[in-house]
Amino acid sequence: MLAALTTVIVLLAGCSGPGGQGAGGFDEIFRDDFDGAAGTPVAVERWVHDVGTCYPGCPAPQWGTGEIETMTDSVDNVALDGKGNLAITPRLRDGAWTSGRIATRRSNFRYPPGGTMRVEARIALPAVTRGDGAGYWPAFWMLGERLRDGYTGWPGVGEIDILEAVNGLPQIYGAMHCGVFPGGPCGEPMGLTSPGQACESCHGTFHTYAVEVSAAEVRWYLDGRHFFTVASTRVDPHTWREAVDHGFFLILNVAIGGGYPAAYGGGPNAGTVPGRPMLVDYVSVRVKSTA
């Protein structure tokens, strides 16, 4: 939805814009600050919409997760808010849920040889609680570029979940998916998942979420604090290469229902409130030539 020194994290705040080299030796190669008038769509040169209930050809109905919403490209679901943020908003009309899911047009984000890639976003999760957020499943994540060749091959193509939250619970998770389904070296479908990170204010307040990916490991950060690592030695060399040694595209979405919410208490119910957006202040990709 997955090795750099801790001091680099502090320095990253001063990194320059796309194409320039910033502090710590990281170059920013992609950035969107979501500036624009309220109600306008995302930049088509940077983002594409995933719409409907599955990828073309429906190799895995309900996006392979059992989620119940229909994804749209309507500005009712995905739009700039006029305050420098992207808003992805689930809606409920006539008993049917709609929401939004966008992916970067680029699918070749990868760490350079011997180096590190840092993928980061500043996000306010939907302002829901366990009392009114059952079924909400916001996420910021990455998929291996080969998935776009035919929308098959999961989880072997690699998935890194930078941020997932569920049911309005006051914690967030990171995860890596790889190998085969079910079971395999990553224990699918749950994957290699972090312990829940307590965050009472993550729903409704902005926090920074990031991963750093290299040939040696994937590291997860919440507000600059490292909280989880998956090392290459965790799985066999072939599985690791297939999972990380290639390009990725990035995804932002808010799903409703599905297996993950069910694992944490259930899907949407009569108390679930629609219309609570996930707000994204910026998305950034930076690379560093040497780890």
Q: Helix H segments across the chain? A: 6-11, 237-244, 259-263
pLDDT tens digits, 170-206: 999 999 999 999 999 999 999 999 999 999 999 999 9
Domains of the chain with bracketed CATH: 6-288 (2.60.120.200)
pTM comes to 0.92
pLDDT in tens, 7-42: 232 333 333 344 444 546 899 999 999 999 999 999
pLDDT digits (tens, 9 = 90+) for 112-136: 999 999 999 999 999 999 999 999 9
pLDDT, tens only, 257-285? 999 999 999 999 999 999 999 999 999 99
Q: What percent of the chain has pLDDT above 70?
A: 91
For 208-221, give the secondary structure using H, E and C: EEEEEEECCEEEEE
